[in-house]
Homo-oligomer: A and B are copies of this chain.
């Protein structure tokens, strides 16, 4: 799906229906190479900020870890000491943080963004957090006259470096174009999902279905192999049939079936089990809060939790295939 792009005429038409400060919105969007704030320079945030720099945007950044700041500074970013200071200097800010408490602190803490944010500022949070926290932040931002959008990403550190991330964006639709302008520097797909929180919802839903598909594929491949099927042939059959899914045709967990995926590299790199468990915990949390039954999603979450406890925390999440297989050091396994 190509990136969606709407031109400035469209924006002006939309501006006319706005409730926010029109002048600030238009001035922000047209003066596009004004500095962009970036808070959170970790594995994902750092390559994302670099891509903004590459597109000619001055970047004003901060992070709790000095080494991460230094790296960005070498690339040309200006480093400040706190989120509040960044908010004082930039009217568009992107945040990329590990979890809800970090987001709450960076936005509403004593030295947080909202302490000094200017009216009309566009705040884009690309962290993956509970959608209800995104909604809280949006309300808090609105009180300060700023606009908050959730725009979590899919694609991992590789896609972050190559500017091939997928962004799932939630927030007031009139701000979407302005967000897109920045996000298209860092991603290949930018999708508008609806009101604030729906970006998180889309991300969480995708990852729950991904986890179910991956574990299902691992179980199925393992069963087929035990029943005498050649793994490559089985994968071909699944991929031409109704069992087909991304995990079977693009990220097969069985070593030797596909090249260029973690199963062919001892499950190194990729998307770690710990991170998948975290996302599944978020999915479970939102499901409980909305009283939605998610039996397979719930069990997928538990399986990844057990894997974290059994030595698989840092392996790619496709290592579930290995987890379900018998360990070689169990000769007595056939003893029943």
Using A296-B219, A297-B216 as known contacts, say yes or no to A237 and B283 having CB atoms under 8 A apart.
no
Chain B residues contacting A305 (CB-CB under 8 Å) are 291-293
A242 at the B interface (CB under 8 A): yes
* Cα of A246 to Cα of B292 in the assembled complex, Å: 23
A326 at the B interface (CB under 8 A): yes
Contact: B233 with A194, CB < 8 Å? yes
Chain B residues contacting A226 (CB-CB under 8 Å) are 290, 292
**How many residues of A sit at the interface, in one of the four size bands?**
35 or more
Contact: A202 with B234, CB < 8 Å? yes
A172 at the B interface (CB under 8 A): no
Chain B residues contacting A206 (CB-CB under 8 Å) are 220, 237-238, 241-243
A15 at the B interface (CB under 8 A): no
Q: A63-71, A82-90, A255-263, A270-278: which lies at the B interface?
A: A270-278
Chain B residues contacting A248 (CB-CB under 8 Å) are 209
Q: A25-33, A50-58, A307-315: which lies at the B interface?
A: A307-315
A303 at the B interface (CB under 8 A): yes
A229 at the B interface (CB under 8 A): yes
Contact: B237 with A224, CB < 8 Å? no
Number of copies: 4
* Cα of A98 to Cα of B198 in the assembled complex, Å: 28
- How close is A26's CB to chain B, nearest CB, in angstroms? 28
Contact: A300 with B309, CB < 8 Å? no
Give A216's nearest chain B residue, CB to CB: B212
A324 at the B interface (CB under 8 A): yes
Between-chain CB contacts (< 8 Å), 15 pairs: A166-B241, A204-B223, A205-B237, A205-B243, A206-B242, A207-B243, A208-B216, A209-B220, A209-B238, A209-B248, A222-B293, A223-B294, A277-B291, A291-B334, A313-B332
Chain A residues at the B interface, C-beta cutoff of 8 Å: 1, 131, 154, 166, 168, 189, 191, 193-195, 197-198, 201-202, 204-210, 212-213, 215-217, 219-224, 226-230, 233-234, 236-238, 240-248, 250-251, 274-275, 277-278, 281, 283-288, 290-303, 305-306, 308-311, 313-314, 323-327, 329-330, 332-336
What 20 additional pairs, Cβ within 8 angstroms, besides A198-B228, A219-B295, A298-B299? Answer: A1-B236, A194-B229, A201-B227, A201-B228, A205-B243, A209-B220, A209-B238, A212-B213, A212-B215, A213-B243, A219-B292, A223-B286, A227-B290, A242-B251, A274-B332, A274-B336, A295-B303, A309-B324, A310-B327, A313-B332
Please provide the 4 A-B residue pairs with the shortest distance between their CB atoms, ordered closest to farther: A245-B245, A212-B216, A209-B243, A201-B227
